[in-house]
Amino acid sequence: MYFQKRIDDPKGFMLFTIILLIFWFLMSPSLSLRNIAVGLVCCLAVTYFWSPDLFKPGQPFRIAPRQVAQLAVYLLLLAYNVVVANVHVALIVLSPKLPISPGFILVKTKLQNELTRTLYANSITLTPGTITINLNSDRLLVHALTKGTAQGVCDWHLENRLREMEVSKGD
C-alpha cells in the first residue's frame, strides 16, 4: 500500500519527532493532557508521512551539539549579510544612473548534503546582489545584479562554514 512506509532510521525518526514536539509545546497555550496527546499524535503522523523524504538510506539523520552552535554562528553571519545586501540594493535603486550589469552565472558547490545545499541556495538569495534560479545536484544557477557580485558568489566564505558544519558530523 502506498501509505505504508518502512522506517529504516528509528533514531533519526525519534530525533525529528522530538524537534517537532518542542516546537508544538512552544506554540501550545497550556500543558494539559489533551494538548500533549494531540501534539504527540500529530508529530508522529507528520514524521511518518514525510519519512521517505526526510531519511535517505546511507544518510542517517543526526544532529551533534557542535553543529547547532555552528548553525547559530552561521545564522548570525547571514543576518549581517542580509543587512549588507539591503544597503547594496538600496544604493543601486536610489542612485539616479541605475548602475546594473546583470547576468547569469553557473557555479559549482562543494557541499554534499541536500539540507546544507538548500540552506546555501537560500542564503545566496538573501545576500548581496545574487539570487538562485536553479539547484541541480551540485550545479547552482545564479542571477547576479552586477559583475562584482557575480565574482563574489564564486568563492564565498560562508560556503566554507557550511562545509565545516557538514564535516563535523561525527558523533
Binding site for another protein (CB under 8 A): 26-27, 82-83, 85-86, 89-90, 92-94, 98, 100-108, 121-122, 125-126, 129, 131-134, 136, 139, 141, 143, 145, 147, 150-151, 154-155
Minimum distance from residue 169 beta carbon to another protein (Å)? 22
At 76, list the grid cell: 548570525
CB atoms within 10 A of CB 23: 12
Instruction: Give the residue with the Cβ less far from another protein, 7 or 89.
Output: 89
How many whole angstroms separate alpha carbon 158 and alpha carbon 41? Answer: 38
Nearer to another protein, 8 or 54 (CB): 54
Least CB distance from residue 160 to another protein, whole Å? 16
| Nearest-approach distance from CB 51 to another protein, in angstroms | 22
Burial of residue 108 (CB within 10 Å: 0-12, 13-18, 19+) is exposed
User: Reduced to 3 states, what is the DSSP secondary structure of residue 139?
Assistant: strand
